[in-house]
Amino acid sequence: MVQRVMMPSEDEVGPGPRRDLLLALHELYRDAGYPGLRPLADEIDKNEDERALGRPGREGIAALLRGASTSAPEWANMQALVWTLAKHSHRRPDGDVEVSRFHALWLAVDAYAAASAGGDGWVDDPAAYARPLPDGLRDRSLRAQDLVKLYHQGEFAVLPTAASAALWPPDKDSASLVETALPFALSQYEERRPLLARVVLNAGALTRHHGHLERELVYAHRPQDREQVRQFCLAHLPHDVLWEELKAYSGPGDNPDYPRNLRARYLTDIITHRNATDLAALLAHLARKVPGYAGDDKTYDDIALHSLYRALAEHSDVQALSELLAVLAEEPDADHGPDLSQHLWGEIARARSPLAPLLSALRENGQAWQTTSILRRTLTIDVMGSRRNDLELVDELSQAGLAEDADTAAFMSQLTEVVHLLASTHTRTGGPTRTDILKRWGYL
């Protein structure tokens, strides 16, 4: 009787990409009738059809079936074994299809192994918390102790998503989740597993439960952990969660007078912790949530998005704002690219003071055309009653050495006077208003 290699237990190879690969390999091994290892090695060595890439011997095949390697096994040997077992399978699968299926599984093992070997940088990588769970964990009800088991098995790349699933489900009550997750996280410091503690806290920071978690860390006198959660949240909170919170800050329930200073402070914190590419993606994401947005503050959705534009215009660092405008111009969103830039130009023209530093930064970044787009909107604002003094703006730009922009601003000032004159004349005769004139000229 041929002695076959048994599938390793979960204690030997825990849930994750390695186990997914082993389960598929043992299924193919079983379908082939558990052939002997020596005959398999001899057949692979002969390679009569010249399709096998590797030459694993008897011990090499046994190692593949046992999952002996903690990283991805050598692909050539895995390919040779899969190709040969597929020829013996009672299902008669297409060999090339089987090899492609196993290659995808092998790539997953290789990716997770690389992440696990890369030091502890994976702990603070937001992408690690967004990966799907491996098949072996996806249908299981994970608990805190499962995380300890994964930690001891070295399945570090699985830990972030496993922690999110086990301790931070989005549809549960925040208070009850924090009551369970926080004591577990803090106990990991005592058990000398600080990385696991950070994973649990980071996973909570990326959910709608982060506010409750931060408060409880304050009560627990853990200022460093609280700051870690806060910083990770501000820099990486997913766009969908951020959007819901932004709407809440814009006026929850029937309270339209929700304190604006809280919203402004929250937005300022968000925009100062994110790079231009992420802010551009955030604007595009939120614009899809408000398809009819026109910046008129008619609904809480409009208020939320308008507040973000205003905060970007007023509080962004000059260089960061110029980089954001460049990203919006160079990588426009397919549906909202032009609108995103135009709304931001309008808010900058309305709220940015002084304006010269930003215009200088745009010119240095090769975005001189955007300075004209912003200055054109100062005309609209002046005509509609803004407090911005156009003569002061011309003087500011001149002193900053922006002669071309100062000339443009002076021209806009002259146009303002023309529009006022035309509008006042037409108003007496029943003609178009200032708004009508601006729309006809393409400024509104």
284 φ, ψ (degrees, to nearest 5) = -65, -40
Residue 196, Cα to own-chain centre: how many angstroms?
Answer: 22
Residues 367 and 359 sit within 8 Å (Cβ to Cβ): no
Q: How far is CA 232 from CA 226, 227, 239, 285, 292, in A?
A: 10, 8, 14, 20, 32
Nearest to 232 by CA among 257, 260, 199: 199
Provide the phi-psi class of 351: left if phi over 0, else alpha when psi is between -120 and 50, else beta: alpha
The C-alpha atoms of residue 213 and residue 368 are separated, in whole angstroms, by 45
Q: In the numeric block, which tokens belong to residue 148?
A: 């300890």
Residues 351 and 313 sit within 8 Å (Cβ to Cβ): yes
The C-alpha atoms of residue 432 and residue 443 are separated, in whole angstroms, by 15
Residues 162 and 145 sit within 8 Å (Cβ to Cβ): no
Residues 161 and 132 sit within 8 Å (Cβ to Cβ): yes
- Look up residue 133 and give its amino acid: L
Q: How far is CA 314 from CA 233, 268, 344, 358, 373, in A?
A: 22, 9, 11, 11, 17
352 φ, ψ (degrees, to nearest 5) = -80, 125
How wide is the angle at C-alpha 226 spanned by C-alphas 223 and 228, nearest 5°? 110
Residues 101 and 28 sit within 8 Å (Cβ to Cβ): no
Residues 244 and 208 sit within 8 Å (Cβ to Cβ): yes
Residues 352 and 344 sit within 8 Å (Cβ to Cβ): no
Nearest to 247 by CA among 202, 191, 192, 208: 208
Helix (H, G, I), strand (E, B) or coil at 334: coil
Q: How far is CA 364 from CA 52, 326, 348, 408, in A?
A: 57, 11, 18, 18
Per-residue model confidence (pLDDT) at position 257: 47
The C-alpha atoms of residue 377 and residue 386 are separated, in whole angstroms, by 11
Q: How far is CA 351 from CA 128, 226, 379, in A?
A: 38, 34, 14
Q: What share of the chain is helix, strand, coil (3-state, %, to 5)?
A: 70, 0, 30
This prediction's pTM = 0.64
pLDDT tens string, the chain, 444 residues long: the values are 567 889 988 888 877 778 889 999 999 999 999 999 898 989 988 887 778 888 888 899 999 998 887 778 889 999 999 999 999 888 888 888 999 999 888 887 876 666 555 556 778 889 889 888 887 788 788 999 999 888 877 778 889 999 999 999 988 999 999 999 999 999 998 888 888 999 999 999 999 999 999 999 999 999 999 999 999 999 999 988 888 887 776 654 444 444 556 667 788 888 888 888 888 888 888 777 765 555 444 555 567 777 788 888 888 888 888 888 888 887 655 455 567 888 888 888 887 878 889 999 999 888 888 888 888 887 655 544 444 566 788 888 889 898 898 888 888 777 766 666 665 655 555 555 555 655 555 554
Per-residue model confidence (pLDDT) at position 235: 92
The C-alpha atoms of residue 365 and residue 83 are separated, in whole angstroms, by 55
Per-residue model confidence (pLDDT) at position 395: 87
- Kindly state the DSSP code that residue 3 receives in the 8-state scheme: P
Q: How many CB atoms lie within 10 A of CB 118?
A: 12
Q: How far is CA 220 from CA 152, 186, 231, in A?
A: 27, 10, 18
The C-alpha atoms of residue 184 and residue 178 are separated, in whole angstroms, by 10
Helix (H, G, I), strand (E, B) or coil at 251: coil
